Amino acid sequence: MRFHRTGTMEPRLTPAPGEGAPAARPAGEEGSPAGTEAKPASAHETRTGTGARPANVAASPADAIDRREFLRRGLTGLGLGLLPARDLHAALGDDTPRVRRRPRLGRTGLEISDISFGGSRLRDDVGLVEHALDRGINYFDTAESYTDGDSERTIGRALRGKRDRVYLASKVVAGAGDDRAKLMRALEGSLERLGTDHVDVYFNHAVNEVGRLENDEWAGFVTRAKAQGKLRFTGMSGHAGRLVECLDYALDHDLVDVILVAYNFGQDPAFYERLTRPLDFVATQPDLPRVLAKARQRDVGVIAMKTLMGARLNDMRPYEQGGTFAQAAFRWVLSGPAVDALIVSMTSREMIDEYLGASGWQGPRRADVGLLERYLARNGASQCRYGCDACAGRCPMGVPIAGVLRSRMYARDYGEPVLAAREYALLDGGAAPCLACTAAPCAGACPHGLPIAALTASTHRALARAGAAGRATGAEG
């Protein structure tokens, strides 16, 4: 059963009692959250983009303040304005994890939760999606390939009857030779699984070669799908090699309304080089901030993914005081001018609540840098940087080093062996040549110091076996 848009295509966002315009930052609080959700624009304003204030534009003095902001200003006078955000909300009797800011997503005019739901690992957990919605998350990201389509089906079941409260994004891998009929079938399959008649954003997924963007069939498909009301805005996602080149092409040819890009503190040249200067490492993506700034200048929405740099959260639990590593990583991403919002895979209610502890912040806390430094020190020597691709071409046997290490991340860091084995099986032999290699032509190829040969060989041993076992037992692979 499908459900259809009612009235307009805009989610109706009803502020909680007492909420209104974004609140001013309390005096003395570093990077504090706005504390209130942005007042939603009207349907016409959201469609045209005229009614939503960009995330990097502060509220004017003329904007009204609500009761909570009045109390906040009073508490600031008592010295409580210096409290960290979590403690301040507790002092106000408001410590429920929830979305506290909905920035404008570029020229789409959509006002989406700053920390949004990534469905890449979602399987048949309707209650998890409902919990995210109850916490104020209104942007749900999925793809036809996620968990064999179960991600889309689960989101569709959870949001039945609630379509006007949310924005939906899905994705398809549109190849350089795919025609518009094939792309339309893929979109219609996603709509069927989601139980809706349209998606708000449809991404060309995991783009890593310009040829896929040069395919005129994509433009023809988009024109027809928009005319039929099946999609509203288009985008591209990417986190592999040639990322910057693909983003430049998409922006220069006005192909996208939104970009979804891997971006975290370990990829920020300024942050990374400051930490690794004594080790003589050099960040290899100096152009990523440039291309994200270009997107901002052209009013293209920017959503970040892979924000946790491998998401080895348990490594950091002993060092977390007053905030978690994940919250620190999110605050870092959301504190700069380049990103509107982020998506992150959410696999438990507790995880959702933890992550939303960073919602509303537009600057880091004093303690965040120490957590991020410690994480990088613990994991920097084994974590491949998305989109770096400095190792490309270094193996004469053609081992796709970055792809192998990404599969390793899914298995080791994400705890998703089935997904890892499936992705590894797509690499045409993967790192099999590494088992017998003694010359190590890849040695020194990683500017971040990763021991490539050791990592690729161990990955092949683990994932080739896992894939074979899955095929032998009829399991997913």
pLDDT digits (tens, 9 = 90+) for 223-243: 999 999 999 999 999 876 688
CA atoms within 13 A on the CB side of 223: 6
Residue 48 is predicted with a pLDDT of 36
Sketch the domain layout of the chain as residue ranges.
106-379, 401-473
Residue 348 is predicted with a pLDDT of 96
Residue 302 is predicted with a pLDDT of 98
Does residue 88 register a pLDDT over 80? no
Q: Which of 41-50, 57-66, 170-179 has the lowest mean pLDDT?
A: 57-66
What's the CA gap between 476 and 233, in Å, rounded?
A: 33
What's the CA gap between 289 and 451, in Å, rounded?
A: 27
Residue 380 is predicted with a pLDDT of 60
Does residue 61 register a pLDDT over 70? no
Does residue 162 register a pLDDT over 80? yes
Residue 361 is predicted with a pLDDT of 92
Pairing mode, strands 115-118 and 199-204: unpaired
Residue 185 is predicted with a pLDDT of 98
Residue 264 is predicted with a pLDDT of 81
What's the CA gap between 31 and 53, in Å, rounded?
A: 19
| Confidence band, pLDDT 50/70/90 cuts, at residue 450 | confident
- pLDDT greater at residue 285 or residue 138: 138
Q: Which two tokens stand for residue 372?
A: 């991020």
Residue 89 has φ and ψ, to the nearest 5°, of -65, -40
| pLDDT 10s digits, 327-376 | 999 999 999 889 999 999 999 999 999 999 999 998 888 888 888 888 77
- pLDDT greater at residue 63 or residue 311: 311
- To the nearest 10°, the Cα dihedral for 167, 168, 173, 179? -90
Residue 269 is predicted with a pLDDT of 52
- pLDDT greater at residue 59 or residue 447: 447
Q: Which of 28-32, 112-116, 261-265, 322-326 has the lowest mean pLDDT?
A: 28-32
Q: Which two tokens stand for residue 126?
A: 């309707």
What's the CA gap between 422 and 426, in Å, rounded?
A: 7
Right CATH for 106-379 from 3.20.20.100, 3.20.20.70, 3.40.50.300, 3.20.20.450:
3.20.20.100
- pLDDT greater at residue 268 or residue 350: 350
Number of residues that make up the chain: 477
Residue 310 is predicted with a pLDDT of 67
Give Cβ neighbours of residue 70 (< 8 Å, ≥ 6 apart): none
CB 202 within 8 A of CB 231: yes
Q: Which two tokens stand for residue 37?
A: 């959700």
pTM metric for this prediction:
0.69
Mean pLDDT of 197-203: 98
Residue 208: CB atoms within 10 A of its CB come to 17
- To the nearest 10°, the Cα dihedral for 51, 57, 63, 65? 110
| pLDDT 10s digits, 372-396 | 888 777 766 566 665 566 777 788 8
Residue 373 is predicted with a pLDDT of 83
Q: Which of 116-120, 307-311, 430-434, 452-456 has the lowest mean pLDDT?
A: 307-311
Task: Look up residue 211 and give its DSSP letter.
Answer: H
Residue 312 is predicted with a pLDDT of 61
What's the CA gap between 448 and 383, in Å, rounded?
A: 9
Does residue 461 register a pLDDT over 70? yes
Give Cβ neighbours of residue 229 (< 8 Å, ≥ 6 apart): 197, 198
| Confidence band, pLDDT 50/70/90 cuts, at residue 85 | very low
Residue 58: CB atoms within 10 A of its CB come to 13
What's the CA gap between 286 and 304, in Å, rounded?
A: 17
| pLDDT 10s digits, 421-448 | 877 888 877 888 888 888 788 887 777 6
Mean pLDDT of the chain: 76
Residue 109 is predicted with a pLDDT of 98
Residue 6 is predicted with a pLDDT of 38
- pLDDT greater at residue 313 or residue 63: 313
What's the CA gap between 160 and 80, in Å, rounded?
A: 43
Bridge partners for 168 per DSSP: 140
Does residue 5 register a pLDDT over 70? no
Q: Which two tokens stand for residue 447?
A: 């500017």
Pairing mode, strands 258-262 and 301-305: parallel
Residue 446 is predicted with a pLDDT of 79
Does residue 153 register a pLDDT over 70? yes
CB 198 within 8 A of CB 158: no
Among residues 77, 75, 79, 78, the alpha carbon closest in space to that of 35 is found at 75
Give Cβ neighbours of residue 133 (< 8 Å, ≥ 6 apart): 158, 159, 162, 165, 166
